[in-house]
Amino acid sequence: MTDGTGQTQDGRATVDLTFKSRPENLALARLALTGIATRAGVSDETLADLKLAVTEACTNAIQHAYGDSVDGDIVVRYSVEAGRLSIEVEDRGAGFDAAKRAAGNGNGNGNGDRSNQGLGLMIIREISDELTVTTGAAGTRIVFVKRLSDPD
């Protein structure tokens, strides 16, 4: 919960962005990230990596969560706190079988085919310092964290 200024009770600065599941809305997620990361002092190189990661996470939701519908919402939440930037991408669409993705190519078929599907999560994993994926019938939530400074 925020205090009206975007500052949470635990000291995090957060921004929530909700948009329809449409490719043209990817620019909104990237623009918001640019403003937040710039204010947090993120380097240009790290910002470029994070833009790629947020684009991959949102693209996954756009392509897979709601089928052919563009009426579903995607929520992107940015939180800055004590040397870290956390990005959450959440949808309320169809989840996926994470175990099958891990066993196969990332598209849930488990056949070992290494097509281009499923690469988004691999890219996010490489860019971020932490990655959590929660998925099920109620939707999918991807949370990734980038440390902005070394811990003391």
Q: What are the start-end ranges of the E strands in 42-123?
A: 73-81, 84-91
Contact between 73 and 92 (Cβ < 8 Å): yes
pTM: 0.79
pLDDT, tens digit, 9 for 90 and up, residues 82-135: 889 999 999 999 777 655 554 444 444 333 444 445 788 999 999 999 999 999
**Whether 46 contacts 37, CB under 8 Å:** yes
Residue 15 has pLDDT above 60, yes or no: yes
Contact 126, 144 (CB under 8 A): no
Mean pLDDT for the chain overall: 82
Specify which residues 145 forms β-bridges with: 86, 130
pLDDT given for residue 45 in this prediction: 96
Domains and CATH numbers, the chain: 13-147 (3.30.565.10)
Q: What is the pLDDT of residue 110?
A: 39
